[in-house]
Amino acid sequence: MKLVQNGKRKAAMSSMNASVSQNVSIVHPEYFFIIGLSGIPYSSYYYIFLFMVYFISVIGNSVVLLIIALERSLHSPKYIGVFNLALADIGETNALIPNMMKNFLFDSRYISFNACLANMFFVFFFSSLQSVTLVVLAYDRFIAICLPLRYHAIVNNTSMILIFSAVWAFNSSIVALMVSFISQLSFCESIMIQSYFCDHGPVFRLACNDYSISKIFAFLVSVLYLLAPLIIIVLSYMGIFLALIKITTWQGRLKALKTCVSHLLLVGIYFLPMGYSYLAAVLISLTPNARIISTSLAYAIPPMLNPIVYVLKTAEIKDIIRKILKNRTAPNRENIPK
């Protein structure tokens, strides 16, 4: 296997050198090599753990998607947002973890240039979709609590479908633009990506020409999909808490606040790990292995926890699951001989 990998690496480097010799202005390697965790004994167990997380994420989010799709009572603006979040969770985990299994458990760490760009696009697209969906759900809670009499006029199924259609179009355009800048870079030296997938930063830093545009765009995307959504969500909850103060009874306040608990948990689950991994990378000189572990957990854990939060903290979904289980066990009880 090592001989095959060394052969591929030499072939990739020779193809780049041939391109340079032909005075090609933009040089793309045939393959990239994804390093992943290095120097850690039994690192394969960590990838197996991530695969277990992936399995739970896919099952949990698929159940949420099926319940919302099949249950007419959940065809409401709030659950259109939840459906979109579950879809983004499945998309992100499928873009990230199966590739990791192939790369590291089966020792197939080479990825073609075009496949690398596609992997980069889908990981960042679905991650950005998660972030913006949490903003839309915060908007839903803000209108429901601050403007309850106008809620159905402002927030309805049509408006939510239009909002998410715009979000999908905007996010795909931004991420596609970010990835397109990578295709304008030349890679004439190293092809070793110091990450566990085709991560944007580690890839553009391999370029041997000016990558300042990609660097600026990476900062803008971080602000657009991490900092700005968090600020908007915090401001929306400031408005919600001000509205709660105006409610005269504690029972009314708790009832209104209870509708926000699941969303607040989702916000914490997504932004705390992501924020920590970004701040640690900026403020502390993380080793490559520490960066890989922190960012991989930040990407993998929220999609696993999100459906658990909605099943345990959302009364409507809990009631539907109880009814399904009751209907399945009822015939068995009837058949028990007296």
The DSSP bridge partners found for residue 300 are none
What local confidence, expressed as pLDDT, does residue 122 receive?
96
Percent of the chain with pLDDT over 70: 89
This prediction has a pTM of: 0.86
- Residue ranges of the alpha helices (H) in the chain? 2-21, 44-70, 77-100, 113-146, 151-154, 157-182, 200-204, 212-222, 228-246, 250-258, 261-283, 288-313, 315-334
Q: For 87-96, what is each residue's pLDDT tens digit?
A: 999 999 999 9
Q: For 174-184, what is each residue's pLDDT tens digit?
A: 999 999 999 99
Query: Mean pLDDT throughout 284-310?
Result: 87
Number of other CB atoms surrounding residue 252 within 10 Å? 12
Domain ranges of the chain: 2-318
pLDDT band at 330 (very low <50, low <70, confident <90, very high): low
CA dihedral 256, 237, 262, 46 (to 10 degrees): -170
- CA-wise closest residue to 116 among 37, 195, 39, 45: 195
Maximum Cα–Cα distance across the chain: 88
Mean pLDDT, the chain, integer: 85
C-alpha neighbours within 13 Å on the C-beta side of residue 182 = 24
Q: Say if residue 305's pLDDT is above 50.
A: yes
Q: Say if residue 108's pLDDT is above 90.
A: no
The DSSP bridge partners found for residue 32 are 111
What single-letter amino acid sits at 187? F
Query: Mean pLDDT throughout 214-237?
Result: 93
Q: Which residue has the tokens 């029972």?
A: 251
CATH fold, domain 2-318, is Rhopdopsin 7-helix transmembrane proteins (1.20.1070)
Between residues 193 and 282, the one the model is more confident about:
193
Distances (CA, A) of 191 to 208, 255, 310: 11, 56, 42
